[in-house]
Structure 1
Amino acid sequence: MHGKRILIIQQRNWGVNIGHFLAKKLAKEGCVLAAVTYKKSAHEFHATQKDVHYEILINNDEVFEKPTRYVEGNPASLEAINQELGIESIWPLVAGSREITRSYAEKFYYNGRQQMSDEDIVRYVQGAYAYVRKIFDEFKPDAVIAPLLAEPSHLLISYMARMRGIKTLCAVDSRVNGVWILSESPYEDEGAFHERVDALNAGASSENTQRAEKYIAEFRKKLKIQDYLVRRWKTQPFFKRVRMELAPLRRIWEWYTRPHTDCIATLGPSLDCRPPRIILRDYFTKKLWSRTARSFSYYPQESVGRYVYYPLQVEPEVTLDVFALYFKNQRELARIIALSLPADYTLVVKDHPDMLGFRPPEYLKDLAGTPNIKLIDYRIPSETVLKGASLVIAPNSTAMVEAAMHHIPVIQFGEEGIILKLPNVLKHTDPSTLSACIKERLRINLKTPEYERRLKNFVAAAYDTGFELDYISAWEDAKEDEREKIWDMYRAGLDRIL
């Protein structure tokens, strides 16, 4: 590791709580470091800390405000950018940024209209490309470490690294509870885990096969909810709930008494930059929408006959904006699925619990009022819905993993590569042939020895190549012991690719 040159995407609070910890470990190993930071207050932390030295330290927010900051001469044309990155167009990269493609100023929780003009978007991409190329030309990284790959500049870095034969490591949930793995691509479809699944399916053996069998057996007895979801849905202590209720008043006070460090002039209001009117709008709108969702007249699940299940996804989120770019309109996708079902099937739709208070009442009404769609209560456990489902269809979803454990076939519209390694999942992207695909999937028999073997291989591969840790507590709470485990994971990943 000594002398290796590592570029770290120091993303917002991840960069402060995890990324900086990794940087210190890498520096101690003798690595040379560079970083791109996101969020001005986070950049200030990295710029003023004394623990590590960065040969190059660039703040992406600065490029939002001044796209020409790193441009020398004329900015690169979009054609030149596409060619150097090995892509067809920059526009799919832009879709991953909620700040660019949706307006927070006009509506809670974002509306569908872009917040930057096309001309400003192009200038930003050209500016980000200029600093990314500067890093690769001058710093010449041997590897890239990232918390996620969603923002346009993340993807610029990832694609330029790929074109230059450099790997990007990104920690992702293996979908086996408590196990995290390293992905080497924006779509989570490359890395040690994927190679291991393929090897096991081809006949290799694993020391974790019995452990995988036990995991699957326990899952079938009782649904294993991912650790980070348990943490998110857990009832908060009383004092914390009080703090959350009073938070808008604190934020308004801070607006008038502190500098607006994280505001970006070219973007206007955002989650990091909310003037008092936006704070109050968000607070009361979320309260109203939460009340509406709780009291909504959902269709009783027990009254549904034969059905296909569509679990709605959180949005905006990378699972839609990057992995399922062409299927991110979930209402329209639900309508298309409902139209494509056999005559004796209906489409059951359930919202994601994390979207409570973030969807307008009209959204729920429109879904519930669409032919052959039954919108059921978001509070019904996923396991209960799956037990009655003949098929699961979605852009991407954790429910697809749960379906695998219960021999339920799945159609996935998105590109998310970990899910596609499950033996019950088929990728399908053509709405015009969806009806035939659904009929075929409804006829398939998954209760076979080969299916069980491949399902065990999926779980065993996660244990073989992954690391058991509480990633979210390390991210949100900076827990030292969990950060040590994350370092072990990245250290192993770097040993693999360097």
Structure 2
Amino acid sequence: MHGKRILIIQQRNWGVSIGHFLAKKLAKEGCVLAAVTYKKSAHEFHATQKDVHYEILINNDEVFEKPTRYVEGNPASLEAINQELGIESIWPLVAGSREITRSYAEKFYYNGRQQMSDEDIVRYVQGAYAYVRKIFDEFKPDAVIAPLLAEPSHLLISHMARMRGIKTLCAVDSRVNGVWILSESPYEDEGAFHERVDALNAGASSENTQRAEKYIAEFRKKLKIQDYLVRRWKTQPFFKRVRMELAPLRRIWEWYTRPHTDCIATLGPSLDCRPPRIILRDYFTKKLWSRTARSFSYYPQESVGRYVYYPLQVEPEVTLDVFALYFKNQRELARIIALSLPADYTLVVKDHPDMLGFRPPEYLKDLAGTPNIKLIDYRIPSETVLKGASLVIAPNSTAMVEAAMHHIPVIQFGEEGIILKLPNVLKHTDPSTLSACIKERLRINLKTPEYERRLKNFVAAAYDTGFELDYISAWEDAKEDEREKIWDMYRAGLDRIL
């Protein structure tokens, strides 16, 4: 590791909590570091800390405000950018940024209209491309470490790294509870885990096969909810709930008494830059929408006959904006699926619990009022819905893993690569042939020895190549022992690719 040159995407608060911890570990190993930061207050932390030295330290927010900051001469044309990155167009990269493609100023929780003009978007992409090329030309990284790959500049870095034969490591949930793996692509479809699944399916053996059998058996007896979801959904202590209720008043006070460090002039209001009127709008709108969702007249699940299940996804989120770029309009996708079902099937739709208070009432009404769609209560456990489902269809979803454990076939519209390694999942992207695909999937028999073998291989591959850790407590609670496990994971990943 000594002398290796590592570029770190120091994303917002992750960069302060986990990213800085990793930087210190890498520096101790003798690595040379560079970083791109996101969020001005986070950049200030990295610029003033004394623990590690960065040969290059660039703040992406600065490029939002001044796209020409790193441009020398005329900015690169979009054609030149596409050619160097090996892509067809920069516009799919732009879709991953909620700040660019949606307006937070106009509506909670984001309007569908873009917040930056096309001309400003192009200037930003050209400016980000300029500093990304500067890093790769001058710093010459041997590897890239990232918490996620979603924002346009993340993807610029990832694509340029790929074109130059450099790997990008990103920690992702393996979908086996408590196990995290490293992905080497923006779509989570490359890395040690994927290679291991393929090897096991081809006949290799694993020391974790019995453990995988036990995991599957336990899952079938009782749904294993991912640790980070359990943490998110548990009832908060009374004092914490009081703090959350008073938080808008604190934020308004801070608006008038502190500098607006994280505001970006070219973007306007955002989650990091909320003037008092936006703070109050958000607070009361979420309250109203939460009350509406709780009291909504959902269709009773027990009254539904034969059905296909569509679990709605959180949005905006990378699972839609990057993995399922062309299927991110979930209402329209649900309508298309409902139209494509056999005559004796209906489409059951359930919202994601994390979207409570973030969906406008009109959204729920429109879904519930669409032919052949039954919108059921978001509070119904996923396990209960899956028990009656003949098929699961979605852009991407954790429910697809749950379906795999219960021999339920799945159609996935998105590109998310981990899910596609499950033996019950089929990728399909053509709405015009969806009806025939659905009929075929409804006829398939998954209760076979080969299916069980491949399902065990998926779980065993996660244990073979993954790391058991509590990623969220390492991030949000700064637990030292968990952060050490994250370092062990990245250290092993770097040893593999360098």
Q: Normalising to structure 1: TM-score of the pair? A: 1.00
Instruction: Please report how far the alpha carbon of residue 165 of structure 1 lies from its aligned counterpart in structure 2 after TM superposition.
Output: 0.1
Instruction: Please report how far the alpha carbon of residue 11 of structure 1 lies from its aligned counterpart in structure 2 after TM superposition.
Output: 0.1
User: Following the alignment from structure 2 to structure 1, what is the Cα–Cα distance between the partners of residues 256 and 341?
Assistant: 55
Instruction: Please report how far the alpha carbon of residue 108 of structure 1 lies from its aligned counterpart in structure 2 after TM superposition.
Output: 0.1
User: Following the alignment from structure 2 to structure 1, what is the Cα–Cα distance between the partners of residues 364 and 419?
Assistant: 27
1:48-71 deviation per Cα after TM superposition (whole angstroms, max 9, x unaligned): 000000000000000000000000
1:14-41 deviation per Cα after TM superposition (whole angstroms, max 9, x unaligned): 0000000000000000000000000000
User: Following the alignment from structure 2 to structure 1, what is the Cα–Cα distance between the partners of residues 470 and 115?
Assistant: 35
2:455 is matched with 455
Instruction: Please report how far the alpha carbon of residue 183 of structure 1 lies from its aligned counterpart in structure 2 after TM superposition.
Output: 0.1
Say which SS state the counterpart of residue 230 (structure 1) adopts. helix
Instruction: Please report how far the alpha carbon of residue 444 of structure 1 lies from its aligned counterpart in structure 2 after TM superposition.
Output: 0.0
1:91-112 deviation per Cα after TM superposition (whole angstroms, max 9, x unaligned): 0000000000000000000010
Say which SS state the counterpart of residue 169 (structure 1) adopts. strand
User: Following the alignment from structure 2 to structure 1, what is the Cα–Cα distance between the partners of residues 394 and 474?
Assistant: 30
1:374-431 deviation per Cα after TM superposition (whole angstroms, max 9, x unaligned): 0000000000000000000000000000000000000000000000000000000000
Say which SS state the counterpart of residue 133 (structure 2) adopts. helix
User: Following the alignment from structure 2 to structure 1, what is the Cα–Cα distance between the partners of residues 240 and 284?
Assistant: 19
1:345-380 deviation per Cα after TM superposition (whole angstroms, max 9, x unaligned): 000000000000000000000000000000000000
User: Following the alignment from structure 1 to structure 2, what is the Cα–Cα distance between the partners of residues 10 and 109?
Assistant: 25
1:318-343 deviation per Cα after TM superposition (whole angstroms, max 9, x unaligned): 00000000000000000000000000
Say which SS state the counterpart of residue 442 (structure 1) adopts. helix
User: Following the alignment from structure 1 to structure 2, what is the Cα–Cα distance between the partners of residues 477 and 10?
Assistant: 18
1:479 is matched with 479
1:430-464 deviation per Cα after TM superposition (whole angstroms, max 9, x unaligned): 00000000000000000000000000000000000
User: Following the alignment from structure 2 to structure 1, what is the Cα–Cα distance between the partners of residues 123 and 477?
Assistant: 36
User: Following the alignment from structure 1 to structure 2, what is the Cα–Cα distance between the partners of residues 20 and 200?
Assistant: 36
1:219-262 deviation per Cα after TM superposition (whole angstroms, max 9, x unaligned): 00000000000000000000000000000000000000000000
User: Following the alignment from structure 1 to structure 2, what is the Cα–Cα distance between the partners of residues 290 and 348?
Assistant: 21
2:228 is matched with 228
User: Following the alignment from structure 1 to structure 2, what is the Cα–Cα distance between the partners of residues 378 and 469?
Assistant: 29
Say which SS state the counterpart of residue 37 (structure 1) adopts. strand
User: Following the alignment from structure 2 to structure 1, what is the Cα–Cα distance between the partners of residues 260 and 479?
Assistant: 29
User: Following the alignment from structure 1 to structure 2, what is the Cα–Cα distance between the partners of residues 481 and 245?
Assistant: 32
- Aligned-residue sequence identity (percent) comes to 100
Counterparts of 1:260-279 in structure 2, within 5 Å, are 260-279=260-279
User: Following the alignment from structure 1 to structure 2, what is the Cα–Cα distance between the partners of residues 251 and 356?
Assistant: 22
Say which SS state the counterpart of residue 253 (structure 1) adopts. helix
1:160-213 deviation per Cα after TM superposition (whole angstroms, max 9, x unaligned): 000000000000000000000000000000000000000000000000000000
1:47 is matched with 47
User: Following the alignment from structure 1 to structure 2, what is the Cα–Cα distance between the partners of residues 261 and 204?
Assistant: 54
Counterparts of 1:70-469 in structure 2, within 5 Å, are 70-469=70-469
User: Following the alignment from structure 1 to structure 2, what is the Cα–Cα distance between the partners of residues 360 and 36?
Assistant: 35
Say which SS state the counterpart of residue 308 (structure 2) adopts. strand
User: Following the alignment from structure 1 to structure 2, what is the Cα–Cα distance between the partners of residues 150 and 476?
Assistant: 20
CA RMSD of aligned residues (A): 0.2
User: Following the alignment from structure 1 to structure 2, what is the Cα–Cα distance between the partners of residues 239 and 475?
Assistant: 22
User: Following the alignment from structure 2 to structure 1, what is the Cα–Cα distance between the partners of residues 366 and 34?
Assistant: 48
Say which SS state the counterpart of residue 6 (structure 1) adopts. strand
Say which SS state the counterpart of residue 236 (structure 1) adopts. coil
Say which SS state the counterpart of residue 114 (structure 1) adopts. coil
1:132-179 deviation per Cα after TM superposition (whole angstroms, max 9, x unaligned): 000000000000000000000000000000000000000000000000
User: Following the alignment from structure 2 to structure 1, what is the Cα–Cα distance between the partners of residues 429 and 284?
Assistant: 39
User: Following the alignment from structure 1 to structure 2, what is the Cα–Cα distance between the partners of residues 46 and 4?
Assistant: 20
User: Following the alignment from structure 1 to structure 2, what is the Cα–Cα distance between the partners of residues 469 and 235?
Assistant: 23
Instruction: Please report how far the alpha carbon of residue 475 of structure 1 lies from its aligned counterpart in structure 2 after TM superposition.
Output: 1.2
Say which SS state the counterpart of residue 358 (structure 2) adopts. coil
Instruction: Please report how far the alpha carbon of residue 476 of structure 1 lies from its aligned counterpart in structure 2 after TM superposition.
Output: 1.2
Say which SS state the counterpart of residue 43 (structure 1) adopts. helix
Say which SS state the counterpart of residue 180 (structure 2) adopts. strand
User: Following the alignment from structure 2 to structure 1, what is the Cα–Cα distance between the partners of residues 477 and 144?
Assistant: 24
Instruction: Please report how far the alpha carbon of residue 312 of structure 1 lies from its aligned counterpart in structure 2 after TM superposition.
Output: 0.0
Moved over 6 A (4+): none
Say which SS state the counterpart of residue 181 (structure 2) adopts. strand
User: Following the alignment from structure 1 to structure 2, what is the Cα–Cα distance between the partners of residues 208 and 17?
Assistant: 32
User: Following the alignment from structure 1 to structure 2, what is the Cα–Cα distance between the partners of residues 169 and 452?
Assistant: 30
Q: Normalising to structure 2: TM-score of the pair? A: 1.00
Instruction: Please report how far the alpha carbon of residue 477 of structure 1 lies from its aligned counterpart in structure 2 after TM superposition.
Output: 1.4
2:68 is matched with 68
Say which SS state the counterpart of residue 374 (structure 2) adopts. strand
User: Following the alignment from structure 2 to structure 1, what is the Cα–Cα distance between the partners of residues 272 and 481?
Assistant: 29
User: Following the alignment from structure 1 to structure 2, what is the Cα–Cα distance between the partners of residues 177 and 127?
Assistant: 40
Instruction: Please report how far the alpha carbon of residue 472 of structure 1 lies from its aligned counterpart in structure 2 after TM superposition.
Output: 0.8
Say which SS state the counterpart of residue 57 (structure 2) adopts. strand
User: Following the alignment from structure 2 to structure 1, what is the Cα–Cα distance between the partners of residues 444 and 270?
Assistant: 47
Gaps of 5+ in 1: none
Say which SS state the counterpart of residue 439 (structure 1) adopts. helix
User: Following the alignment from structure 1 to structure 2, what is the Cα–Cα distance between the partners of residues 231 and 319?
Assistant: 20
User: Following the alignment from structure 2 to structure 1, what is the Cα–Cα distance between the partners of residues 172 and 475?
Assistant: 13
User: Following the alignment from structure 1 to structure 2, what is the Cα–Cα distance between the partners of residues 473 and 406?
Assistant: 30
Say which SS state the counterpart of residue 165 (structure 2) adopts. coil
User: Following the alignment from structure 1 to structure 2, what is the Cα–Cα distance between the partners of residues 104 and 430?
Assistant: 32
User: Following the alignment from structure 1 to structure 2, what is the Cα–Cα distance between the partners of residues 232 and 486?
Assistant: 20
2:494 is matched with 494
User: Following the alignment from structure 1 to structure 2, what is the Cα–Cα distance between the partners of residues 96 and 234?
Assistant: 29
User: Following the alignment from structure 2 to structure 1, what is the Cα–Cα distance between the partners of residues 60 and 482?
Assistant: 28
Count of aligned residue pairs for this structure pair: 498
User: Following the alignment from structure 1 to structure 2, what is the Cα–Cα distance between the partners of residues 143 and 479?
Assistant: 26
User: Following the alignment from structure 1 to structure 2, what is the Cα–Cα distance between the partners of residues 322 and 228?
Assistant: 21
Say which SS state the counterpart of residue 56 (structure 2) adopts. strand
User: Following the alignment from structure 1 to structure 2, what is the Cα–Cα distance between the partners of residues 346 and 13?
Assistant: 43
Instruction: Please report how far the alpha carbon of residue 478 of structure 1 lies from its aligned counterpart in structure 2 after TM superposition.
Output: 1.2
